Amino acid sequence: MRRRASFAALVMPAFAILILPLGAFAQPSRPDQSKTQPAASAPDLSGVWSARGLSAEIYAKGDPLMTPWAKAQYELAKPSFGPKAVLLSETNDPVYKCFPPGVPRIYFHPFPLQIVQIPGQVILMYEYDHTVRHVFTDGRKHPEDAEPTWLGHSIGQWEGETLVVDTVGFKDKTWIDRLGHAHSDQLHTIERLHRTAANNMQIDVTIEDPKAYTQPFSVTFNMRFEPKWDTAEMYCIDTLNFEKFEAGGRPPKQ
């Protein structure tokens, strides 16, 4: 058994979920995955990883330098964390409406991450809201006319011991962190995942968004390998009673 993260900071009420019809968006061309094999030298990152602290709420070189557009968005934000924190009843944080957290926001929530490596792709399965990302390592490019999505379109390649994940094509409806920093649909992230020790992994995320920030900036997350852990089922829809817990009541049933 593993310890569960506090509901006070992590759960949200649920709203209706819209389901798009299959085939609603054009799919990018895909290489023949039957002929694609993982590189012989690719390190094994598979397994369950847990977050090691949340010091990443402070960026490596201070707060990102915002454009006037981003500053205006930041002023409108009412986060439940940081120097601008408000009560949960007052927040306009998108995740408290059950919207997906996006990237790199997903890493700011201290839930486990499971990595699965198969020919042609690496699958990142976050326990938080059962979020799944597919990182294509089969040599494909980003589609030129991709419909923006919550998690973007990710392609990856191995650089020595490091998995480099390049992601574009984001909706502009999420924050990049829990402090209220916004982003536009020009957001471009590069994640570098590598083991720093047998049971430790470092994830360095570089964030570029010329509409929102005057220069790229980065944030680092540290993860611990948990060979005896499984990821649990966690959906925003299951936490309808979280406000009672926040007010001092009993936590919702799991």
Query: Could you report the per-residue pLDDT of 186-201, keeping only the tens digit for each?
Result: 999 999 999 999 999 9
pTM for the full predicted model: 0.77
- What is the average per-residue pLDDT within 207-235? 94
Residue 54's pLDDT is what? 58
The answer for residues whose C-beta is within 8 angstroms of residue 97's C-beta and 6 or more apart is: 12, 13, 15
Homologous superfamily of domain range 43-246: Calycin beta-barrel core domain (2.40.128.20)
Cα 40 to the chain's mean position, in Å? 28
140 confidence band (pLDDT: 50, 70, 90): very high
Matching residue, tokens 């408290």: 96
Q: Which residues of 82-117 are buried (b: 16+ CB within 10 A; e: fewer)?
A: eeeeeebeebebbbbebbbbbbbbbbbbbbbbbbeb
Residue 59 has pLDDT above 90, yes or no: no
The answer to whether 113 touches 126, Cβ cutoff 8 Å, is yes
- What is the average per-residue pLDDT within 135-143? 96
Specify the amino acid at residue 254. Q
Residue 176, token pair as written in the block? 């990049």
Q: How many CA atoms lie within 13 A of 191 on its CB side?
A: 25
pLDDT digit string (tens) for 71-118? 999 999 999 988 899 998 999 999 988 899 999 999 998 899 999 999
Specify the amino acid at residue 92. N
Domain spans, the chain: 43-246
**Neighbouring C-beta atoms of residue 243, cutoff 10 Å:** 15
Residue 15 has pLDDT above 60, yes or no: no
The answer for residues whose C-beta is within 8 angstroms of residue 98's C-beta and 6 or more apart is: 12, 13, 14, 15, 17, 129, 236, 237
Cα 84 to the chain's mean position, in Å? 22
Alpha-carbon distance 200 to 50, whole Å? Answer: 10
Which element (helix H / strand E) includes 242?
Answer: helix 242-246
Specify the amino acid at residue 73. Q
**Neighbouring C-beta atoms of residue 161, cutoff 10 Å:** 13
Phi and psi at residue 229, to the nearest 5° = -95, 155
Matching residue, tokens 């938080």: 128
- What is the average per-residue pLDDT within 151-163? 97
The answer to whether 25 touches 169, Cβ cutoff 8 Å, is no
The answer to whether 254 touches 95, Cβ cutoff 8 Å, is no
236 confidence band (pLDDT: 50, 70, 90): confident
**Burial class, 12, CB count within 10 angstroms (exposed 0-12 / middle 13-18 / buried 19+):** buried
Residue 36 has pLDDT above 70, yes or no: no
Residue 246's pLDDT is what? 44
Alpha-carbon distance 204 to 202, whole Å? Answer: 6
The answer to whether 158 touches 189, Cβ cutoff 8 Å, is no
